[in-house]
Amino acid sequence: MGGQVGHAGSLRKPTGRVGSVEPALHELTATQALARMRQARLSPVALVEALLERIAEQDPVLKAWVALDRDGSLAAAHAAERAWRDGTAGPLCGIPVSIKDLLFTRGLPTGANFEPFKDRDPGMDATCIARLRAAGAIVLGKVQTTQFAGRDPSPTCNPWDLARTASGSSSGSAVSVAARMVPVSVGTQTGGSIIRPAAYLGVVGFAPTYGRVSRSGLLPRSFSFDTIGAMSRSVDDAELMFGVMAGPDPRDASTRLQRRAGKSRRAAERPPRLRLVEDFLERATPDTSMRFTATIDRLAASGARVKRARLPVALDLLLAIHTTILFCEAAASQSTLLPLHRQHYAPGLLAQLDLGNAIPARPYLQAQRVRRRVRARLATLFRGVDALVLPSMPDGAPDRSTIGLHFCQVPWTIMGWPAATLPIGLNR
């Protein structure tokens, strides 16, 4: 598994009673909330009411939410309360979630930050959303995305420092979790759109293996790369979300090629074997490099075996493969809408679509061929190790004019490999 370690781009901490003996309800992780519900110490209704209050307090400034389902979420919370009482609670019963506004969600608009779609209710749930609801999760509402998951910044603000980017494309997902407006969120990644905002906002981000989670009901950007994953404030919560969302779906052919991978007892019992990919560390700022190296040293001191290696393929080649395939497939996905609504497209996305339409078939096909060829060479990085480690970002969050760099995430996205980011500190 291609693991990454990241840090928040922050100068100040979101408000909240962190460190209190009995944390405020909005501070609870999903795992903590479930434990309290199991012990009849927490009402799902009280949790939803507390989070709605938190959203009313925070979101006028942060602008993470596109649509809230107050009545529906409270009704679902009462149903969850009954399920806990009746002994029929599912694995996520009573846990509020936010949904990136690219995924079909019954009863709520799926707008993709695109004016013509602003009030468009798909009348159905994406497969992953249907599975979350079936597990008892409560859909609190939809959160912001960059337009069609492009690179034009969304209106969402960074809760750690309003002058810095909230990144993208899963900006609303990351902010809703980081600002304690919801414990978990569903995001998507086509380049680095889970890992990057999660790293900038100081939360856990998990982008699973391509095809593990059905994309049925996702507005597409690139069918070769689009992946649905989770953001949370703990690894346990990300694992909970993935366990519910993953699995074959007849409506997404890519999921039928996947088999659920289990953790072997042998791997779980021995110290982890890690490989640090030096190319990315060399491109990091001194502050990021220092914090990352200190984290690796702590892992080694705790028993992890750390080896070092360099990419066996030029990073610039990997970025070129991603750009060529992404631009072409993004243009194909918008081929019907673009002629009808050209004036509504954000400038950065529009430029990408025009470039994608101008690329002949031959470079696209060649990029796909090279992508397959480099897979075997990149796979050599995993010989004798369990995971790769590298900085999730080369620096903390930049200003709001950009969503940040994606070169730390792209290699694993184009290979369809899983990636996770964990917060390790605050940049200065």
User: At residue 420, what is the residue type?
Assistant: A
CA–CA separation, 145 and 102 (whole Å): 7
CA distance 396 to 287: 9
Q: What sign for the dihedral angle of Cα 297, 299, 305, 311?
A: negative
- DSSP annotation of 69 reads -
- Could you identify the residue written with the tokens 């992890």? 304
In 3-state terms, what secondary structure has residue 23?
A: coil
The DSSP output letter for 99 is E
Distance, in Å, from the CA atom of 149 to the CA atom of 111, rounded to the nearest integer, reads 11
The answer to whether residue 98 is catalytic is no
Q: Is the peptide bond before 169 cis (omega within 30 degrees of 0)?
A: yes
Q: Which residue in the list 169, 171, 214, 232 is annotated as catalytic?
A: 169
Distance, in Å, from the CA atom of 301 to the CA atom of 318, rounded to the nearest integer, reads 33
Backbone angles phi, psi at 356, to 5 degrees: -60, -40
**124 neighbors 106 (Cβ within 8 angstroms):** yes
Cβ atoms within 10 A of the Cβ of 297, count? 12
Terminal CA-CA length for the chain: 30
Q: Catalytic residue among 100, 216, 222, 224, which?
A: 100
Cβ proximity of 146 and 100 under 8 Å? no
Tokens of 69: 């389902």
Element containing residue 136 per DSSP (H, E):
none
**Catalytic annotation on 193?**
yes
CA distance 1 to 311: 16
Catalytic residue among 193, 216, 222, 392: 193
- CA-derived radius of gyration, the chain: 21
Give the DSSP letter string of 359-381.
S-HHHHHHHHHHHHHHHHHHHGG
CA distances from 41 to 25, 37, 44, 47, 347 (A): 12, 6, 10, 11, 50
Cα–Cα dist 108/125, whole Å: 10
Active site residue 43: no
- Give how far Cα 125 sits from Cα of 72, 133, 190, 240, 363, Å: 14, 9, 21, 20, 36
Catalytic residues: 100, 169, 193
